Amino acid sequence: MMKIKASLTNNVGIKVIAVVIAALIWLMIVNISDPEKTVIIYNIPINVTHEEVITDMNMVYDSDKNATVNITVSGKRSVVSKLSAEDFTATASLKELSKVNAIPVQVSAVQNYIGRKITIEKQSKQTLEVSIEQVKKQNYSVSVEYNGSPEEGYVAGGYTLSKNMVTVKAPESLLDKIDRVVARCDIDGENEDFTTKSRLYVYDKYDNILKSDKIKLSSKRVSVSVTILNEKQVPIETPSVGTPETGYHVGKVTVSPENITLIGKKEVLDTVEKLVISDTINISGKTTDTVEKINIRKYLPEGTDIGQGETDVISVVIKINKLVSKKFTINTDKIAIDGLNNSYEMAFVSKNINVELQGKDDVIKKITLNDIGASINLNNYKEGTETVNVSVTLPDGATLVNDVRVRVKISKKK
């Protein structure tokens, strides 16, 4: 053991130098001989070529846009050890499309001198799958959607388009998803009519924008001319109401909503103070409260329209109440006598007459005998016993239910 230890520890420096020299000699031999080496190159992008083969047939293709291929390369160590994905190109030509929609993937070196010094032993992907679809056209009407809001007190009115229709060209599967084409127009802060170029967007039925380079529009933008209008809130006048069933009267009439916002040019709105419902509501035969629905569009002043979010149908609530009646007994002494010839005298046959009044409850309740006047006119009557019509004077809001008569006896004065 002592001899072994001594042999290892003696002349250590010389022994280290010997090892280093041996390694250098080995590297020199390797570099001079430049042996064969095999490496793997990863993630070479696959480029699809000759697209015109498909597009000339009015079709489109789709494939994995991020498709890559790995290759195993052999060659001199000095060459392959420096290679990367950028030194190679991978192509898939649509000219070689098979019946199963697959394209052979061809890999080659970018530089010819590299291609002559290496061998591609194998590649991870031999073909690239593609899908082929027919391209179709369809016309769509253009609608407008506003972004933002006009200045306070103003509202966007109607619009006109330079093009009301566009043609959309797209693969059939995409075309089937299209619901509408919209021109999005910015109206934020506007207070007068204007015209602008607006970009067209394609929407599906779920209100999502469809984005694809395969969707082609005959026009990407259209000119939108927007009318900016003023708005004004005015009251709705309570409409006139007809007459209900006999024995009933119209109570309170209310309108809902009570106000409506109109839009139009300022000079037009300045002349409008209220919305008038010019027709009379027919309630003939009605005995109970009723609600009438009225479309107010026919009553809008010329040059105006209903504001955004406003209803065009209002409700008119009509209260219908039963008339009440009350009977009064009037002493004939209270009846005034007119037209009696001075040569005659008169006497009532009965002491009282009965009067029945009808009207609204609050009116009838307040009436007393002192509010009722009665008179007879004997201008055309001669001697004898007669039945005479009594003229009854009533307070406002009361009507006479019955005809009132009284019997009188007329005789010559003695």
Of the chain, the percentage scoring pLDDT greater than 70 comes to 93
Please identify, among 125, 142, 161, the residue that sits at the C-terminal boundary of a domain. 125
Answer yes or no: do 223 and 140 share one domain: yes
Pick the more confident residue, 26 or 66: 66
The yes-or-no verdict on residue 11 having pLDDT over 80 is: no
- Does the model's pTM come out above 0.75? no
What does the pLDDT read at residue 7?
A: 59
Answer yes or no: do 329 and 317 share one domain: no
Answer yes or no: do 108 and 147 share one domain: no
Please identify, among 305, 322, 339, the residue that sits at the C-terminal boundary of a domain. 322
* Model pLDDT for residues 274-331, shown as the tens digit of each residue: 999 999 999 999 999 999 999 999 999 999 999 888 899 999 999 999 999 999 999 9
How many domains are there within the chain?
A: 5
The CATH number of residue 267's host domain is 2.170.120.40
The CATH number of residue 355's host domain is 2.170.120.30
Of 143, 53, 57, which Cα lies nearest the Cα of 96? 53
Answer yes or no: do 396 and 342 share one domain: yes
Confidence of residue 23 (pLDDT cuts 50, 70, 90): low
What does the pLDDT read at residue 5?
A: 57
Full residue range of the structural domain in which residue 384 is found: 324-412
Long-range contacts at 209-214 (CB < 8 A, ≥ 24 apart): 210/174, 210/177, 210/178, 212/170, 212/174, 214/60, 214/170, 214/171, 214/174
Write out the chain in H/E/C secondary structure: CHHHHHHHHCCHHHHHHHHHHHHHHHHHHHHHHCCEEEEEEEEEEEEEECCHHHHCCCEEEEECCCCEEEEEEEEEHHHHCCCCHHHEEEEEEHHHCCCCCEEECEEEECCHHHHHHEEEEEECCCEEEEEEEEEEEEEEEEEEEEECCCCCCEEEEEEEECCCEEEEEEEHHHHCCEEEEEEEEECCCCCCCEEEEEEEEEEECCCCECCCCCCEECCCEEEEEEEEEEEEEEEECCCCECCCCCCEEEEEEEEECCEEEEEECHHHHCCCCCECCCCCECCCCCCCCEEEEEEHHHHCCCCEEECCCCCCEEEEEEEEEECEEEEEEEEHHHCEEECCCCCEEEEECCCEEEEEEEECHHHHCCCCHHHCEEEEECCCCCCEEEEEECEEECCCCEEECCCCEEEEEEEECC
Answer yes or no: do 253 and 311 share one domain: yes
The Cα–Cα gap between 268 and 146 comes to 24
* Model pLDDT for residues 113-136, shown as the tens digit of each residue: 999 999 999 999 999 999 888 899
Task: Give the C-alpha distances (Å, rounded to integers) separating 234 from 41, 255, 257, 314.
Answer: 78, 13, 11, 14
Please identify, among 202, 230, 258, the residue that sits at the C-terminal boundary of a domain. 230
Answer yes or no: do 181 and 218 share one domain: yes
Answer yes or no: do 115 and 171 share one domain: no
The yes-or-no verdict on residue 63 having pLDDT over 90 is: no
Confidence of residue 24 (pLDDT cuts 50, 70, 90): low
The yes-or-no verdict on residue 53 having pLDDT over 60 is: yes
The Cα–Cα gap between 217 and 202 comes to 9
> Is-cis flag, bond preceding 35, omega within 30?
no
Answer yes or no: do 27 and 62 share one domain: no
What does the pLDDT read at residue 104?
A: 95
What does the pLDDT read at residue 9?
A: 61
* Model pLDDT for residues 245-254, shown as the tens digit of each residue: 988 989 899 9
The yes-or-no verdict on residue 6 having pLDDT over 80 is: no
Answer yes or no: do 141 and 226 share one domain: yes
The yes-or-no verdict on residue 3 having pLDDT over 80 is: no
The Cα–Cα gap between 277 and 111 comes to 88
* Model pLDDT for residues 145-188, shown as the tens digit of each residue: 999 999 988 998 889 999 999 999 999 889 999 999 999 999 99
* Model pLDDT for residues 373-393, shown as the tens digit of each residue: 999 999 988 889 999 999 999
Answer yes or no: do 329 and 399 share one domain: yes
Of 308, 299, 84, which Cα lies nearest the Cα of 187? 308
Answer yes or no: do 25 and 94 share one domain: no
Of the chain, the percentage scoring pLDDT greater than 90 comes to 75
Of 196, 186, 193, which Cα lies nearest the Cα of 221? 196
Mean pLDDT (whole number) for 363-370: 92
Of 63, 40, 36, 61, which Cα lies nearest the Cα of 51? 61
Answer yes or no: do 121 and 149 share one domain: no
